[in-house]
Amino acid sequence: MADDILLTAQGISRAYGPHPALCGIELTLRRGEVLGLLGLNGAGKSTALQIFAGVMPPDAGRVAICGHDVIEDPRAAKRQLGFLPEVPPLHPDASVDEYLTFCARLHGLASAAVADGVREAKRRCRLEDVGGRLIRNLSKGYRQRLGIAQAILHKPALLILDEPTSGLDPVQLAEVRTLVRELGRDHSVIFSTHILSEVRAVCDRVAILHRGRIVCDQPLASVDPVLRIRLRRAPGRAIIAALEGVLDCEDLGAGTFALRVADADATAERIAAAARDWGLVALEHDENALERTFLALTCRDDTPDATADAA
């Protein structure tokens, strides 16, 4: 079971001068998980990811990748790691092929495996057509994908991607999301974003970072399923709440209810059957559940905290 844990971060703290960026972050990631790290701008996402990747030392705490401490045993730890920083670490003067070949060697791929690794990474990131182009002439979307190619080409167990979709147009956005979802099959992925729909599209777990603390860390499935129903002859909140599979029922008024449920599809079917006499006019998945959780956690203006910061 211990083999399944790819990343452990314990008590990570980091301050920039007097400003604390992270305070005691705890996180574990298992094999095959795709974790979305959500947070407002300035929440500490990039700092956290850089510390996880071992490119920035924490003030306190330790990080281990596949059981290897990133500071004490960096070589073993980083062999298992692919990292895309916020700004892709590219060489503008090199061509795509040259750059990827260099990265493959840097990550210790055997000479015989370099060409195959580069070809495979280019295929997955759809870079086949630009192999000979100079990186300085590539558009933002290509550069971002090249940054991802660089991170995956040595087939690391753990991928850390810092805002992989920033600055992409909608088509590229969809492509990169598909790619991340594909990668989630063979790699464990942590990626940061402040776009909620992205997390919903690709993650199976979500962690929300706010003011340097993880304020929520749970499987996405346990955040998401909220059903919204509208009834013409509502029977009263308690009766709906007692239905099998309904965890919680909130009366939104005018016959509308928001139900937190365990299994969205099964419960929806059950409600549709039960609500025949209640005049069911609408039954839908509430796509905003994650938004609601996120806003509730991050927009709470913790005044005591704010005054403490000011002091």
Query: Using CB under 8 A as the criterion, what x/- string covers residues 44-73 for binding another protein?
Result: ------x--xxxxxxx----------xx--
Does residue 36 bind another protein (CB under 8 A)? Answer: no
Helix (H) or strand (E) holding 297: helix 289-298
Provide the residue type at 262 as one letter: A
Spatial CB neighbours of 238, under 8 Å, sequence gap ≥ 6: none
CB of 106 to another protein, least distance (A): 5
Does residue 22 bind another protein (CB under 8 A)? Answer: no
Nearest CB to another protein, comparing residues 24 and 255: 24
CB-based burial of residue 19 (10 Å sphere; 0-12 exposed, 13-18 middle, 19+ buried)? exposed
Does residue 78 bind another protein (CB under 8 A)? Answer: yes
Q: CA 198 to CA 18: how far, in whole Å?
A: 33
Helix locations, 125-226, DSSP H: 140-152, 170-186, 196-202, 220-223
27, 29, 44, 107: which one binds another protein (CB under 8 A): 107
Stretch 142-181 residues interacting with another protein (CB under 8 A): 150
Does residue 115 bind another protein (CB under 8 A)? Answer: no
Does residue 106 bind another protein (CB under 8 A)? Answer: yes
4, 11, 26, 93: which one binds another protein (CB under 8 A): 93
Q: CA 282 to CA 279: how far, in whole Å?
A: 9
What is the CB-side half-sphere exposure of residue 109 using CA atoms within 13 A? 20
Binding residues vs another protein (CB under 8 A): 50, 53-59, 70-71, 74-76, 78-79, 81, 83, 85-91, 93-94, 98, 102-103, 105-108, 150
